[in-house]
Amino acid sequence: MKDAMGTFAEERKVQSAKCKVQSGSRHRFAFCILHFAFCIFFLVCDIPLVLAADTWPFTALRRETYRVIPGFFRVGVPVPAWDSRDSLTLASGTRLWQLRAFEAGGEGYALCVDVETLRTFVVREDDLWRGTTEEKERGPFVGSPFLPLSDSGDGGQGTSPYERALERYAYVPMTGKEQEWVVMTVDLCPSHRRWDRDLFEALREMRTGDRPLPVAVCISGAWVRRHGPAFAQLCAWDREGELDLTFVNHSDTHPVGARGDFLNNEGVDFEGEILNAEVTLLAHGVVPSPFFRFPGLVHSAARLKALMQYGLIPVDADEWPGQGDIPTDRVPEGILLVHGNGNERAGVRWFLEMARQTGLRERLRDGQLKVFSLTDYAGEE
């Protein structure tokens, strides 16, 4: 009887152990399924995944803390900063124009533009003030709160490239008329369609010598929020040196309006369209450039004047193949506009065929054509 009871007890122990193993396996399998679902949820909903707390400190940036606060600073001691590719250090003597101020993680930050190179950076406010000269007290610039930067120790004879660009394009947006292809721009307006990845793949294969092709991506906040994985791929190509991207503010929601008046419509929240797009870009790992493209290339004199209040340089286009019959046997002239959001496939087909017929990739590689980034072109004399 004791032997039978002992055997029965041993069998119960073995059965219990098997159940625990099976239960543990089921739990591990369920955890893996939940983890996979969690990742898919974040990708579909386009919620930024932060790998480390200090990787990008602006993922939780909120519009309520984001303000237009201009000011001029000359860096006195090297200070840490961020651009869209990496964290870096700004050298002593760098001249910065503050565009915005905002808070993130309990700290204050400033979005600034280097007035010599037109590159933008984010700097901690404490670092910005540490060792810098005092903010200059000067008169208003072209009717806006943005001040002139010519007081740089040269007797007022010279001005910065940033100031010259603001002046030059204050009332007539930037174009590249009567010049062989100057700037490549790709618009990403809000769209439910898949992006034209093949366009960007073709651009990746085009290099100017041994450098990646400079491309201005005119991007709306709504497109970023809806197409998180595609946007992440663009940023990865930029960081990895596959493309040299400048991210241009193309408004937040790209309003069209019943009469096709776009941002000219008086009912549009013009400031919200500008600042909400910048907040979206910062929250997704990109420092906005000092450029702006009006939706539909539609802009009134009043809107151009209003844009000055935000320190942004307007960018138009000379050739828009999706809106006209442009031959494919010649390289376009000036600033080229192609949509890469899936809404204007005809323009993408035109570009790919033009590149094939003209041997564009080879001509760029051999230095027969010069293509500028927006920052370089805007800073030209």
DSSP state of 47: P
Q: What is the pLDDT of residues 71-80, one digit of tens each?
A: 988 888 899 9
Q: According to the model, what pLDDT value does residue 76 have? A: 85
- Judge if pTM exceeds 0.95: no
Kindly report the backbone phi and psi dihedral angles of residue 209, in degrees, each rounded to the nearest multiple of 5, phi listed first: 70, -120
Amino acid sitting at position 166 = L
Residues 68 and 100: beta-carbon distance below 8 Å: yes
Q: Do the strands 214-219 and 95-104 form a parallel or antiparallel pair, or are they unpaired?
A: unpaired
Residue 362 identity: E
Query: What is the spatial order of strands in the sheet that 87-90 belongs to?
Result: 67-74, 95-104, 107-114, 120-124, 79-82, 87-90
User: For residue 206, what are the contacts with CB-CB under 8 A and spacing of at least 6?
Assistant: 213, 355, 360, 361, 364, 365
Q: Residues 165-214: pLDDT tens digits?
A: 999 999 999 998 777 788 999 999 999 999 999 999 999 999 998 999 99
* β-pair partners for 333: 180
Res. 4: pLDDT tops 80: no
Query: Where are the alpha helices (H) located in the chain, listed in sequence order?
Result: 2-44, 125-129, 161-168, 197-204, 221-226, 228-239, 270-283, 301-308, 345-358, 360-365, 374-378
Domain ranges of the chain: 63-152, 173-378
- Secondary structure (3-state) at 191: coil
pLDDT of residue 353: 97
Please compute Rg for the chain using Cα positions.
26
Q: Which residues are 339's β-sheet partners? A: 187
Is-contact 121 298, C-beta < 8 A? no
Residue whose pair of structure tokens reads 């090297």 in the numeric block: 78
pLDDT digits (tens, 9 = 90+) for 83-132: 999 899 999 999 999 999 999 999 999 999 999 999 999 999 998 887 56
Q: What is the pLDDT of residues 27-54, one digit of tens each?
A: 444 444 544 444 444 344 444 433 333 4
Q: How far apart are CA 222 and CA 241, in angstroms?
A: 26
How far is Cα 252 from Cα 277, in angstroms, rounded to an integer? 4
Give the pLDDT of residue 15: 53
Alpha-carbon dihedral sign for residues 355, 378, 315, 60: positive
Nearby residues of 185 by Cβ (< 8 Å), 6 or more positions away: 215, 216, 217, 218, 248, 293, 315, 317, 335, 336, 337, 338, 374
The strand pair at 335-339 and 183-188 is best described as parallel
Instruction: Give 285's contacts (C-beta < 8 A, 6+ positions apart).
Output: 48, 56, 59, 84, 235
pLDDT tens digits along 248-287: 999 999 999 888 999 999 999 999 999 999 999 999 999 9
Residue 287 per-residue DSSP state: P
**What is the residue-averaged pLDDT of the chain?**
84
The domain defined by 63-152 folds into SH3 type barrels. (2.30.30)
CATH code of the region 173-378: 3.20.20.370
Residue 136 has pLDDT above 50, yes or no: no
Q: What pLDDT, on the 0 to 100 scale, is given for residue 132?
A: 61
Predicted confidence (pLDDT) at residue 2 exceeds the cutoff of 80? no
